[in-house]
A and B are shown apart, each in its own frame.
Chain A
């Protein structure tokens, strides 16, 4: 792969000015591939920042169509997108943001059967899910494939973030040992998935470039109601059925 074009130098000018980021980090991003697993509230925000930052390839996976009740938070979509498959509307929007990024739109539900193939060729996964079941499928597959997954979740005024690096820290199953009750139509204030998705993009950029310290073994809780941030230590469970035997 060649270096950066003149257009790319200008497009990424502000981040290239960060002394410990620079062209090396930008080239690492350009050579990277990220899967955004779900392009809802979290995935919208994460995908926009990853595309804008110049990640080489984004694989966006979602089986849903845009609904009116998505639009308070899913900032990839407009009112005129209602009824369209999310991944196709997202592809157009992301391409418009940064045509240098290769976008692969996959309209599929993530299952035990296809997750291995979906992970093929990506460096890491950004969790943009809205339920626990699919998150656990992704977690298990990422641990098996030794690929990092950046976990994000929201509820009402609250956000959660944890970076999972198999073999280096706890996985989602260490954090949530039992299957919680699934909720339909979870209450969410729009800025929260926006914030958490942006943080997920930030973590992805850090992991891909090797700049900074990832949120490993720590759960970040963002309390938007009181504007409090908490970092809670999460230990790897030695008897975790998913990652217990991964060294």
Chain B
């Protein structure tokens, strides 16, 4: 299945500035599978520096809904889903 990934701010930098990336994942893949794919292919860094867990500062949305209100990283993806990764920004 095809999944559209939208990366924001610092995470967009690892996509070489591309706002949107389309990825092919096996059917039944979850958000955590997508994260592993992004980490290995693009060097995505969304783990907390202190805990090694997923960084709670990075908002992850599937089709506009934050995954903490879905099934977290176990949220199942389907063909055509749009997944957004939104880290905090601090410039001014």
Hey, which bits of chain A sit against chain B, CB under 8 A?
38, 40-43, 127-132, 135, 152-156, 158, 160, 175-178, 180-183, 186-188, 193, 221, 223, 225-226, 230, 232-233
- B92 and A178 form a contact (CB under 8 A): no
> CB of B56 within 8 A of chain A?
yes
> CB of B63 within 8 A of chain A?
no
Residues of A within 8 A of B10 (CB): 155
- B88 and A175 form a contact (CB under 8 A): yes
Which of B57, B64, B66, B92 is within 8 Å of A180, CB to CB?
A: B57
A-B contact count (CB 8 A): 78
B33-58 vs A, CB cutoff 8 Å, 1 = contact: the mask equals 00000000000000011100001110
- A180 and B50 form a contact (CB under 8 A): no
- B56 and A178 form a contact (CB under 8 A): yes
- A221 and B61 form a contact (CB under 8 A): no
Which of B9, B17, B59 is within 8 Å of A232, CB to CB?
A: B59
- A154 and B50 form a contact (CB under 8 A): no
- Chain B residue, CB-CB nearest to A226: B19
Residues of B within 8 A of A42 (CB): 92
How many of chain B's residues have a CB under 8 angstroms from any CB in A?
24
B57-78 vs A, CB cutoff 8 Å, 1 = contact: the mask equals 1010100101000000000000
Q: Which of B64, B90, B91 lies at the interface centre, i.e. has the most chain A CB atoms within 10 A of its CB?
A: B91
A178 to B59, CA, bound (A): 12
Residues of A within 8 A of B64 (CB): 230, 232
A230 to B6, CA, bound (A): 12
- B89 and A153 form a contact (CB under 8 A): yes
A221 to B9, CA, bound (A): 10
A127 to B87, CA, bound (A): 19
Q: How far is the CB of A158 from chain B (nearest CB, A)?
A: 5
Residues of B within 8 A of A175 (CB): 88
B9-26 vs A, CB cutoff 8 Å, 1 = contact: the mask equals 110100001010000000
- B88 and A176 form a contact (CB under 8 A): yes
A181 to B59, CA, bound (A): 16
Residues of B within 8 A of A183 (CB): 90-91
- A223 and B19 form a contact (CB under 8 A): yes
A187 to B10, CA, bound (A): 10
A131 to B91, CA, bound (A): 6
- B49 and A43 form a contact (CB under 8 A): no
Residues of A within 8 A of B90 (CB): 129-132, 135, 153, 155, 180, 182-183, 186
- A223 and B8 form a contact (CB under 8 A): yes
Q: Which of B17, B19, B50, B90 lies at the interface centre, i.e. has the most chain A CB atoms within 10 A of its CB?
A: B90
A177 to B59, CA, bound (A): 11
Q: Which of A42, A160, A175, A226 lies at the interface centre, i.e. has the most chain B CB atoms within 10 A of its CB?
A: A160
**12 A-B pairs (CB sep. < 8 Å):** A132-B90, A154-B91, A154-B92, A156-B9, A156-B12, A158-B8, A176-B88, A177-B56, A180-B90, A221-B8, A226-B19, A232-B64
